[in-house]
Amino acid sequence: MLSHQAISLISFPFIIAYCLYLWVTKNHKKIKYIFFYIFTLLTGLLLSCFYWIPVIFESKYMNLLAKGNISFIPLGELIYSPWRWGFLFQGHKGELSFIVGYVQWFVVIFSIILFIKGKISLKEKGVYLISVISFFILIIMTQSVSSPIWMNISLLRGFEFSYRLLLLASFFSSIIAGITVKNITKKWFFIGLCLIVILTTILNWGNRRTIPQLNDQAIKYDFPRNMTKVGNSVTIWVDSDKFKSNARLVPHITIPQGEAKILETFRSSVKHEYLIKVTSKNALIKENTLYFPGWKLYVDNNIYPINFQNPKYPGIILFDLSPGLHDIKISFEDTPIRKISKLISFVTGVFLIFTIFGRRKNEFIKKLFTHR
């Protein structure tokens, strides 16, 4: 959940399927194991809710430009890489290759042959079938033929790139490889498979240098312009097209109207502090930060309103100041929903720690008295 919300979302059905498999095959359908599985999944969700609850409730403030559009991978790209006769998995200019892997394809197909011939042990058939079926479901979901599924399930519309599913596909191919190797007792097969893996990936081990065009000047001037179009980085109050065309390096704070002298005293990612002396009747101050719920303005230690819906500077933090010297603090603080979600995660963590140590303490006392 903390590494990537989209991957965690798509992983959840497979985790449920595996829990059901364990319940049916390992634990003789005892009701208490259902409680254990639910408790485990629920604990994971509660521990990470400081992240995903704000995402759910506050994503409405983000301009998700790509929402509803899913990019799919041509089937050929899953099989063969276009660089260095197929053995280079990333292009010379950083292009992505979506190849599943030559050894992975071989192992999956070979395992199916073993399964048909009855070479997979009965004990492992359940895990094997779950893994193979899951692998091919994920591969199909990366193809345009699965478009109706993506479009009709609202939770999947913000997924953006179907190639993200290849992470799970590689996981299942690893399980399939483990089962296959375990059921092939010949040592030469295992050694040969490892050698093939080494030979087919050796071109990808080293750093192939950086792109010469990406020098300091390019990063300084081009990177800000290229990044402003990214959906997740632009709020709903900003015209992303206009913002991109006017993108340039700007000072942290400017004065669109009036006259003032500004001294920046402190700056971090969540706190900006200034001393501002207004010498005109009044001054409009533009702090070049995109507004998002949680940003608060303090003028002389008093909360002060932020204007972020000015038609001329939409989405940018603006405020008016009267004549005189002012101590300005702009800080990014937790909204109520963030505070609640953090509290839930904290309480869950404390509960889990006490549960673990409490159980170990009871086991220790039980062993102590049993020994005596």
260-294 pLDDT, tens per residue?
999 999 999 999 999 999 999 899 999 999 999 99
Q: What is the 3-state secondary structure (H, E, C) of the chain?
A: CCCCHHHHHHHHHHHHHHHHHHHHHCCCCCHHHHHHHHHHHHHHHHHCHHHHHHHHHHHHHECCCCCCCCECCCHHHHHCCCEHHHCECECCCCCECCCCCHHHHHHHHHHHHHHHCCCCCHHHHHHHHHHHHHHHHHHHHCCHHHHHHHHHCHHHCCCCEHHHHHHHHHHHHHHHHHHHHHHCCCHHHHHHHHHHHHHHHHHHCCCCCCCCCCCHHHHHHHHHHHHCCCHHHCECCCCHHHHHHCCCCCCCEEEEECCEEEEEEEECCCEEEEEEEECCCCEEEEEEEECCCCEEEEECCEEECCECCCCCCCCEEEEEECCEEEEEEEEECCCHHHHHHHHHHHHHHHHHHHHHHHHHHHHHHHHHHHHC
Q: pLDDT digits over 91-130, tens only?
A: 887 788 899 999 999 999 999 999 999 888 888 888 899 9
For residues 178-183, give the mean pLDDT. 90
- Section 198-215 average pLDDT: 81
Higher pLDDT, 267 or 69: 267
Rounded Cα distance between 333 and 27, Å, is 47
- CB-based contacts of 214, cutoff 8 Å, min separation 6: none
| The one-letter amino acid at 205 | W
**288 compared with 151, residue with greater pLDDT:** 288
Q: How confident is the model at residue 231 (pLDDT cuts 50, 70, 90)?
A: very low
Comparing CA positions, the residue from 190, 188, 197 lying closest to residue 170 is 197
Residue 366, pLDDT > 90, answer no
Mean of the per-residue pLDDT values for the chain? Answer: 85
Q: Taking 80 as the threshold, does the pLDDT of residue 218 lie above it?
A: no
* Lowest mean pLDDT segment, chosen from 52-61, 150-159, 240-249, 253-262: 240-249
Q: Does pLDDT of 153 surpass 70?
A: yes
- What gap in Å lies between CA 282 and CA 285, rounded to an integer? 10
2-6, 28-32, 347-351: which range is least confident on average? 28-32
Vertex 52 angle, CA 35 and 33, to 5°: 10
User: How much is the average pLDDT of 9-30?
Assistant: 80
Q: In the predicted model, what is the mean pLDDT of residues 292-306?
A: 95
Residue closest to 73 by CA, chosen among 134, 142, 175: 142
Identify the CA nearest to 82 among candidates 100, 99, 103. Answer: 99
**Cβ distance 299 to 340 under 8 Å?**
no
pLDDT of residue 222: 67
Most confidently modeled of 60-74, 212-226, 299-313? 299-313
Q: By percentage, how much of the chain surpasses pLDDT 70?
A: 87
Predicted local confidence at residue 369, as pLDDT: 60
Residue 55 CB coordination number (10 Å): 13
